[in-house]
Amino acid sequence: MKNEADLVIRNGLVYDGTGAEPFEADVAVSAGRITALGKVSARGREEIDARGLAVTPGFVDIHTHYDGQVTWENRLVPSSSHGVTTVVMGNCGVGFAPCRPEQRDTLVRLMEGVEDIPHPVLVEGVPWCWETFPQYLQYLAQRRYDMDICGYVPHAALRVYAMGERGASGAPASAADRAEMARLVRDAVAAGAMGFSTSRTFFHRSSDGQSTPTFRAAEEELSAMALALKDAGRGAMQMIIDFDEGAEEAFGSMRRLVERSGRPLSFSLMEGDTGPLSPRWPEILEWIARANADSLPIKGQVAGRAVGMLYGHELTLNPFYTTQTYRELAGLPLAERAAQLRRPEIRARMLAEPIDRDPANVLGRMVRDYEHMFVLGDPPDYEPLPEASIAAQARRRGVSPDALAYDLMLERDGRATLYYTLANYAHGSLDACLAMMRHSGTVLGLGDGGAHCGTICDGSLPTFMLTHWGRDRSRGERLPLPWIVKALTREPALAVGLADRGLIAPGCKADLNVLHFDRLRLMAPEVTYDLPAGGRRLVQRSGGYRATVVSGVVAYRDGEATGSLPGRLVRGPQLERRRWNSYIAPR
């Protein structure tokens, strides 16, 4: 019929992604695009009554690691539970293309070590029906998803592909090596890569303990790839880099890459003590501001909450995982292990055993930092008071924090979870996150969906932003909902060149969320065993989402999958259909 749309969302309170105040309107959609906004007279083949509900653009998550999952799965959990309609994968320099057959195990072990995705899962799940990055994209283009996907070409894979064992071991790249990597970047971007990513942090190691191949890559190597983006006239750079003793030089190297290439760059920025977890983050924000004032497009990727590691007997880590006794029990099924751990003699022995003192095992020390460790709870508390820490509770009870942690983890039949605030919580609140998020030179990211299957579950950040910062926070300032929606939608989309989404306006891609703001909630993370080879992962569900729409098709209704898979591979930056920047309200 002539006056008919594919979908009409009626009577909603529209947060359009610009940061402007919401307004009541209907939204009409046809052929995957928003066709009308306001009072819509056309009838929809499908209609959603959004009276009393909020309507937002679909959320854009620019820091994920679904590189393996997209090869065997159609639904990208946990992101799909939190209104995400576009993800960017291939971050931090790790991924699975390009790759020669004899190099597969190298990349699997790197992903296992850096992103905590179990080796058997990747060996069984990844089909390896490609060698080059364009072939990888061609495989993904044939598949269907519950959201759109796109990705960077990862530097570690490029290095190993171009240099072989020399690249894997971190050897310096020759002029010929650099030229080959630049060629591979140009080919990848021409095929649809969003740019390239790299890692220069000592935290990133393969499962055999070796540093990521890109850790000591020289600046001239990075420059070769950056100039390949310049030649292509498109693409962005993403990086994680250490900001400890050489913070000025680390930032200076990123600034020079942008000066030479003219291409945008974003990097991980977190509060902490060492490596990429920098106590100098206020200075780094000033450096970003100066670079932006000089028209250099550099942004810090920041998170809205602590980077939280989860400890427990079902998970990868716990405070006792390096002890000899725990290693002897670790292979037992959970129920049997919990029964053994309840035996007084086992408890006494394990509490007396030393932790791993290997200076290279940073995690071995983190797992007993009880001043920054808490019981997560259900519903989860992501801004706990310092006096709720395991250390503070132990002092009040007159027991050791080791003993208290041991007993707490045995609750719920051994499934209790402890929450360790690795970053962004040095002073016992989220005030540092607030300052970083508000800075004009930052963009929300670092959710890490698809990675850290047994340690971190931060893919729920969109729902957390709306509930904690927009509604529930009691320990300080909140953030306006229009600001939060913009930070989850338009800003990350523009940061990576996806100018066709993150905005509710005629002509934009019809990725939308309809949600009941007052009923939004986060459930506690839970463990499932639904990966290939029976692999384990943490997932986190939400409540309050009435509908999530991708390309005009309802993919989720009331939190349940509809059976539709409208998501596709996005090949490279998506050009503006009009001058969208005029819609963007300043922060």
Per-residue pLDDT tens for 345-359? 999 999 999 876 555
Structural domain includes residue 314? yes
One domain for residues 443 and 481: yes
- Whether pLDDT at 583 is above 90: no
* Tokens standing for residue 7: 């979908």
Q: Which domain holds residue 409?
A: 309-423
User: Residue 338: how many CB atoms within 10 A of its CB?
Assistant: 18
Is 585 within a domain? no
- Alpha carbon distance 425, 340 (integer Å): 34
Distance of CA 105 to the CA centre of its chain: 24
Residue type, 59: F
* Mean pLDDT score, 380-395: 97
Contact 527, 533 (CB under 8 A): no
For the cut 90, the answer to whether the pLDDT of residue 118 exceeds it is yes
Are 103 and 130 contacting, i.e. CB atoms less than 8 angstroms apart? no
Beta strand pairing call for 298-302 and 442-444: parallel
* Strand pairing class (418-423; 535-539): unpaired
Q: Is the dihedral of CA 512, 516, 517, 519 positive or negative?
A: negative
Q: Based on the fold, state whether residues 272 and 346 are members of the same structural domain.
A: no
Q: Where is the domain boundary, 395, 423, 451?
A: 423
Whether 186 maps to a domain, the answer reads yes
Cα–Cα dist 207/114, whole Å: 8
Query: Residue 325: helix, strand or coil by DSSP?
Result: helix
Same structural domain, 252 and 141: yes
The CB density around residue 503, as the number of other CB atoms within 10 Å, is 23
Last residue of a domain, one of 495, 518, 545: 495
The values of phi and psi at residue 335, to 5°, are -60, -40
- Of 423, 447, 479, which closes a domain? 423
Domain count, the chain: 3
* CB-CB neighbours of 493 under 10 Å: 29
User: In the chain, what are the helix, strand and coil shares in percent, each to the nearest 5?
Assistant: 35, 25, 40
The answer to whether 269 and 300 are in contact (CB under 8 A) is: yes
pLDDT tens per residue, range 529-551 = 999 999 999 999 999 999 999 99
One-character DSSP codes across 531-551: EGGGEEEEE--EE-EEEEEET
**Amino acid letter for position 56:** T
Would the pTM of this model clear 0.85, i.e. be above it?
yes
Collapse the DSSP code of 66 into the 3-class scheme (helix H, G, I; strand E, B; otherwise coil) and give the result.
Answer: coil
Mark whether 91 and 147 lie in a shared domain. yes
Residues 453, 530 within the same domain: no
Q: For 218-232, how does the pLDDT look when each residue is reduced to its tens digit (9 = 90+)?
A: 999 999 999 999 999
Residues 6+ apart with CB under 8 A from 209: 113, 360
Q: Are residues 222 and 154 in the same domain?
A: yes
Q: Residue range 43-67: average pLDDT?
A: 98
Residues 313 and 301 in one domain: no
* pLDDT band at residue 366 using 50, 70 and 90 as cut-offs: confident
Residue 387's identity, in one-letter code, is E
Please give the Cα distance from 449 to 451 (Å, whole number): 6
Does residue 371 fall inside a structural domain?
Answer: yes
Contact 235, 189 (CB under 8 A): yes
The pLDDT tens digits of the residues spanning 283-341 come to 999 999 999 999 999 999 999 999 999 999 999 999 999 999 999 999 999 999 999 99
- What CATH number did the domain enclosing 37 receive? 2.30.40.10
DSSP 82: G
Instruction: Please compute the mean of the pLDDT values over residues 200-212 and round it to a whole number.
Output: 93
Both 136 and 185 in a single domain?
A: yes
Residues 105 and 87: their CA atoms lie apart, in Å, by 26
Can you give the CATH number for the domain in which 475 is found?
3.20.20.140
Q: At what angle do helices 344-352 and 334-341 cross, to 10 degrees?
A: 80
Q: Based on the domain organization, do 210 and 330 belong to the same domain?
A: no
DSSP string, 20-46: PPPEEEEEEEETTEEEEEES--SEEEE
In a domain, 519, yes or no: yes
Helix (H, G, I), strand (E, B) or coil at 266: strand
pLDDT, one tens digit per residue, over 405-434 is 999 999 999 999 999 999 999 999 999 999
Residue 328 and residue 459 in one domain: no
For residue 120, cis peptide bond before it (omega within 30 degrees of 0): no
Residues 453, 552: one domain?
A: no
Can you spell out the DSSP letters for 429-446? Answer: SSHHHHHHHHSTTEEE--
Checking if the pLDDT of 584 tops 60, the result is no
Gap between the Cα atoms of 194 and 236, Å rounded: 6
586 domain residue, yes or no:
no
Specify whether 488 is located in the same domain as 535.
no
Residue 198 placed within a domain: yes
pLDDT at 385: 97
Of 525, 381, 541, the C-alpha closest to 453 is 525
